[in-house]
Amino acid sequence: MTASTKTIEHALLHWYDVHARDLPWRNPPRRAVPNDPAWPYRVWLSEVMLQQTTVAAVKPYFAKFIETWPTVEALAAADEADVMSAWAGLGYYSRARNLVKCAREVATSGGFPKTEAELRELPGLGPYTAAAIAAIAFDERAVVVDANVERVVSRLFNIEEPLPGARKAIRARAEEITPAKRAGDFAQAMMDLGSSLCTTRDPKCLLCPLAGMCEAKAGGDPARLPVKAPKKPKPERKGRAFWIERDGPDGTEIWLVTRPGTGMLGGMRALPDDGWSAQADGSGMAPFAGAAQTLGAVRHVFTHASLTLEVVRLDAAPGGEGEWWPLQKIEDVGLPTLFAKAARLALAQR
Please give the positions annotated as active site. 47
List alpha helices for the chain, DSSP H: 5-19, 38-49, 55-68, 72-76, 80-87, 94-109, 116-119, 127-138, 147-156, 167-177, 183-196, 215-219, 337-348
Query: Residue 28 or residue 248: which is nearer to DNA going by CB?
Result: 28
CA diameter of the chain: 77
Which H helix or E strand runs over 237? strand 236-243
- Phi/psi of residue 239, nearest 5 degrees: -155, 175
Answer yes or no: are the C-beta atoms of 244 and 272 closer than 8 Å.
yes
Q: What mask, x for binding DNA by CB under 7 A, covers residues 82 to 121?
A: ------xxxxxxx---x-----------------------
Tell the smallest beta-carbon distance from residue 311 to DNA (Å). Answer: 15
List 55, 107, 169, 347, residue binding DNA (CB under 7 A): 55
Report the residue number, 188 or 287, with the smaller CB distance to DNA: 188
How many residues of this chain interact with DNA, rule: CB under 7 A?
Answer: 64
Only segment of 2-10, 187-195, 210-218, 285-293 that touches DNA (CB under 7 A) = 187-195
10 in contact with DNA (CB under 7 A): no
C-beta contacts of 38-44 below 8 A and 24+ residues apart: 38/70, 38/71, 39/137, 40/72, 40/111, 40/112, 40/133, 40/137, 40/138, 41/71, 41/72, 41/112, 42/66, 43/132, 43/133, 43/136, 43/137, 44/72, 44/102, 44/112, 44/129, 44/133, 44/137
Residue 124 in the binding site for DNA (CB under 7 A): yes
d(CA 163, CA 138): 30
Among 27, 78, 118, 128, binds DNA (CB under 7 A): 128
Query: Does 200 engage in binding with DNA (CB under 7 A)?
Result: yes
Tell me the C-alpha to C-alpha distance, in Å, between residue 327 and each of 47, 243, 347: 35, 11, 9
Residue 88 CA to residue 282 CA, distance in Å, equals 23
Q: Which of 302, 324, 326, 347 binds DNA (CB under 7 A)?
A: 302
Stretch of 33-41, 62-70, 105-113, 146-154 lying at the interface with DNA (CB under 7 A):
146-154
Nearer to DNA, 270 or 316 (CB): 270
Among 7, 258, 277, 308, interactor with DNA by CB under 7 A = 277
Q: Residue from 30, 139, 258, 266 that binds DNA (CB under 7 A)?
A: 266
Based on the shown chain and the rule CB under 7 A, indicate whether residue 130 belongs to the binding site for DNA: yes
CB atoms within 10 A of CB 209: 19
List 34, 263, 284, 296, residue binding DNA (CB under 7 A): 263
Q: Does 303 contact DNA by CB under 7 A?
A: yes
Residue 267 and residue 336 in contact, taking contact as beta carbons nearer than 8 Å: no
46 binding DNA? (CB under 7 A): yes
Does 61 interact with DNA (rule: CB under 7 A)? no
The binding site for DNA (CB under 7 A) comprises: 21, 23, 25-26, 46-47, 50-57, 88-94, 98, 123-130, 132, 146-148, 151, 164-165, 188, 191-192, 194-195, 200-202, 228, 231-232, 234, 263-266, 277-279, 300-304, 336-338
